[in-house]
A = this chain, B = another copy of it.
C-alpha cells in the first residue's frame, strides 16, 4: 500500500466547535461534507482523543465554519496547534453564538452551520458524526472556502500546491513532520498517542526530520 495515494484526496479546512458544562472548545478538521440535502445534513470526522469530541458528545450539538481562502494563520494556529484541555481557544476571539448555544469564530470564515447530532459511527481511531443542520449562513459571499492544498501553500510559503508538503519541508527544522499536512512538532520525542493537531493523523504518519 502506498500511503502517498491518500495525499491526492481533496479537502477543505473547517473549525468545529461545541459548548458543554460552561466550557467552549473547537478544533480544526479537514473532513466536513454535506451528505443529504432534504433534510440538510453534514458529516464530520473527529479523532477520539479530541477534546472537542467530548464537548459534542455531552451537548449533542456542534457548530461548523468554513475557513475563508484569506484566513489569517493565527486562527488556524489557535484552533489547531494547541489543545482545548490546556486553554480556552475562544478567549479574546471575535465570536458569535448560534441558536444551539455553540460558539463560532466570526473572522476568516465564509459560512457557518449550527447542527444537532442525529447519529454517529465508530470507525476506529475516529468517530463520524452526522449533524442535522438547523442554521446555515453565508458569512462572506465573495471569498471561497480554503482548500486543504491552499492551506499548505499559505502555511509553507513556497510550497507548490501540487507537491506533497512533506517533500518541500524536509530539513527546515528539527523534530517530527506530519507527512500529510506538513505540521511540524518541534520535539526530540514523538509520543505514541500523538495526534496531528492540524489534520488529525496519528503518530504513524509522522517522519523524523
Let me know if B138 and A5 touch, CB within 8 A. yes
Interface centre among A5, A124, A205 (most CB of B within 10 A): A5
One of B128, B130, B148, B204 near A10 (C-beta < 8 A) = B148
The distance in angstroms between the C-alpha atoms of A145 and B123, with both chains bound, is 25
Let me know if A2 and B145 touch, CB within 8 A. no
Let me know if B124 and A41 touch, CB within 8 A. yes
The yes or no answer to A83 lying at the interface (CB within 8 A) is no
Distance in angstroms from A148 CB to nearest chain B CB is 7
One of B5, B9, B136 near A6 (C-beta < 8 A) = B136
The yes or no answer to A4 lying at the interface (CB within 8 A) is yes
Let me know if A125 and B37 touch, CB within 8 A. yes
The yes or no answer to A135 lying at the interface (CB within 8 A) is yes
Let me know if A123 and B5 touch, CB within 8 A. no
Of A52-60, A71-79, A105-113, A169-177, the stretch lying at the interface with chain B is A105-113
- Measured between beta carbons, the chain B residues less than 8 angstroms from A130 are 121, 123, 128
- Measured between beta carbons, the chain B residues less than 8 angstroms from A138 are 2, 4-5, 8
Let me know if B8 and A11 touch, CB within 8 A. no
Q: Which residue of B lies closest to A134 (CB)?
A: B1
The yes or no answer to A119 lying at the interface (CB within 8 A) is yes
Of A15-23, A26-34, A89-97, the stretch lying at the interface with chain B is A26-34
The distance in angstroms between the C-alpha atoms of A124 and B11, with both chains bound, is 23
Residue ranges of A at the interface with B (Cβ–Cβ < 8 Å)? 1-6, 8-13, 30-41, 43, 45, 66, 110-113, 119, 121, 123-126, 128, 130, 133-138, 142-149, 161-162, 201-202, 204-205
19 A–B pairs (Cβ distance < 8 Å), ordered by A: A1-B40, A2-B137, A8-B110, A8-B111, A8-B144, A8-B145, A9-B33, A9-B34, A10-B145, A10-B146, A35-B126, A37-B201, A37-B202, A39-B124, A41-B123, A41-B124, A43-B123, A121-B130, A144-B161
